[in-house]
Amino acid sequence: MNQIAFPARTLWAFVLAAALAACTAEKNPNAPPAPPATPDAGTPPAQPPPDPNKTAADNTFDQGKQIFRFDTFGDEQFWTNAIHLEQAIGGCPTCGIPTGVTPRTALAVGLKVDIDALPASVVAGVQNGSISLDDPKTTIALIGLNAVLGVKGTPNAAGTALTSLGITCAFCHSTVDNAGAAVAAGIGHRLDGWPNRDLQVGNIVNLSPDLTAVAKVLGVDAGDPTTPTVRAVLKGWAPGMFDAELFLDGKAANPNVPGTPLGSAATLIPAAFGLRGVNLHTYTGWGSITQWNAFVAVVEMHGVGNYTDLRLDDATRFPVAARADNHFGHLTPAPGQQDQVSSKLGPLEFYQLAIDAPAAPAGSFDVAASARGQALFNNAGAGGAKCATCHVPPLFTDAGWNMHTATELGIDDFQASRTPLSLSGPGGTPAPVYRTTPLRGLTAKDRFVTNPASKGRYYHDGRFATLDEVVAHYNTQMSLGLSLGDQSDIVQYLKSL
């Protein structure tokens, strides 16, 4: 570790020296004197003091960014103490895991490496082969440098194993721009808020040597330490997908859509950018950003914090969450533990709201076709595509209660039924609802995807492989009567957002 960290300090010393030299140069005594700022205006007008709220906003943004990228909320109590993922990733010869995961394998299961966290000597070493991407110890070193997105771990003194491991929000909600692709795909500059559609969450968790804690929560595989049910479910999650509701209702597959990847009930990891002005969050409108953040940090990542949600006491809908030994709607830190989540919710939400959706790169769509598509998208009259009746620009979700019934969308209500929200439908029967996806940055979701099989995929479970399929679905479902040309113009507009 020291060998790797030391050149970084040398580099900093060099940068500092250069910066100092630049400062000195500015004070060159031979330079002509600067003209007076206000030659004849007498006393310059007093600068208004900085708005303290703006200063606080800046600080909150910085805090939120750190939390989003690096905070585990104490979830090592699960990832290390309960399922021992640190042994699977770092190796543990004394517990039957001779070696850990090589960087090449880590990249192949979708983990991403932040090139800006790597000292120049490491980049050079990887390039010239003196640091091997086939050596598990390199993975340990990379984790120690905080260079693996969303993975926080502590290497032992010899750099031969990890003593702890936890995950952060960046695990699923960040990717990289592949700027280091010459070395290996999956290495580049961080892109916060971009969903990692390459990430094989299920396969990574399945590396864990002991999943009995998960089996216990779900109430399956009683007494079987190999937990075959849990492992089969995890293996069923396609890349870029995760099932946030599994730990509430124990439903592992959507019976209505056998065509979804392996019949799994997982959803695509959504973007965490472009969310300003969006009312309800998640595909099924669980709540505000901060409700969902608290839920994820405590219930999904297993951080140490408080989470209150009386809706999870509904034992019919949420048999796992409501069970007395889980009681997920009433979580508090164990005696002696400090809440590591609540104080972070403010900055975390603030930062997420600040992340803009990325603009579509020039040349990635046909400008003229997109303009025609825009007109159709916004036209709610005859011949129009009526999209903006729900995807209201510039939010591209409804301005208001942004939910619509599965019937309106013409899709099954399996996922919508896994949440507390329903409208009262005809005769009082529940009408489950989906949240109108904000469409900005739509194509950014797979811009830097390295696995071709992970490209595209739209709607919560990725049932539509391409945008053309999405538009064709609306055309049929809403009897829009759009020509094929109209449909392709709308696709170009979607690509421009």
Of 306, 85, 91, residue with least CA distance to 208: 85
Q: How far is the CB of 222 from ligand HEC (least distance, A)?
A: 26
Count CB-CB contacts under 10 A for residue 147. 20
Other CB atoms within a 10 A radius of the CB of residue 86 amount to 27
- Give the residue with the Cβ less far from ligand HEC, 118 or 167: 167
Q: How far is the CB of 131 from ligand HEC (least distance, A)?
A: 28
Nearer to ligand HEC, 131 or 480 (CB): 480
Check: CB of residue 497 under 8 Å from CB of residue 439.
yes
β-pair partners for 164: 154
Shortest separation between residue 330's beta carbon and ligand HEC, angstroms: 20
CB of 380 to ligand HEC, least distance (A): 9
Nearer to ligand HEC, 221 or 245 (CB): 245
Our CB check for ligand HEC shows the closer of 92 and 278 to be 278
User: Judged by CB, which is closer to ligand HEC: 137, or 463?
Assistant: 463
Q: Between 4 and 312, whose beta carbon lies closer to ligand HEC? A: 312
Please count the residues of the chain: 497
* 4: CB partners within 8 A, 6+ apart: 119, 121, 122, 141, 144, 145
Whose Cβ is closer to ligand HEC: residue 141's or residue 269's?
A: 269
One-letter amino acid at 117 equals: A
Nearer to ligand HEC, 92 or 320 (CB): 320
Nearer to ligand HEC, 138 or 397 (CB): 397
**Alpha-carbon distances, residue 424 vs 280, 282, 344, 429 (angstroms):** 18, 21, 36, 6
Smallest distance, ligand HEC to C-beta of residue 18, A: 37
- Measured CA to CA, the distance from residue 284 to residue 286 in angstroms comes to 6
Taking the least distance from each CB to ligand HEC, the nearer of 115 and 471 is 471
How far apart CA 232 and CA 478 sit, in angstroms, is: 38
The 3-state secondary structure of the chain, one letter per residue: CHHHHHHHHHHHHHHHHHHHHHHHHHCCCCCCCCCCCCCCCCCCCCCCCCCHHHHHHHHHHHHHHHHHHHCCCCCHHHHCCCCCHHHHHHCEHHHCECCCCCHHHHHHCCCCEEHHHCCHHHHHHHHHCCCCCCCHHHHHHHHHCCCECCEEEEECCCCCCEEEEEECCHHHHEEECCCCCCCCCCEECEEECCCCCCCCHHHHHHCCCCCHHHHHHHCCCCCCCCCHHHHHHHHCCCCCEECCCHHHHCCCECCCCCCCHHHECCEECCCCCCCCCCCCECCCCCECHHHHHHHHHHHHCCCCCCEECHHHHCCCCCHHHHCCCCCCCEECCCCCCCCCCHHHHHHHHHHHHHCCCCCCCCCCCCHHHHHHHHHHHHCCCCCCCCHHHCCECCCCECCCCCEEEHHHHCCCCCCHHHCCCEEECHHHCEEEEEECCCCCCHHHHHCCCCCHHHCCCECCCCCECCHHHHHHHHHHHCCCCCCHHHHHHHHHHHHHC
Q: How far is the CB of 108 from ligand HEC (least distance, A)?
A: 18
- Interface residues with ligand HEC (CB under 6 A)? 167, 169, 171-173, 201, 242, 244-245, 267, 269-270, 272, 275, 281-284, 289, 292-293, 296-297, 301, 348, 352, 385-387, 389-391, 404, 408-409, 411, 434-437, 439, 442, 458-460, 467, 470-471, 474, 490, 494
Residue 482 structure tokens: 């759009």
Q: Which is nearer to ligand HEC, 365 or 458 (CB)?
A: 458
Closer residue to ligand HEC in complex, CB, 214/411: 411
In the complex with ligand HEC, which residue's Cβ is closer, 123 or 353? Answer: 353
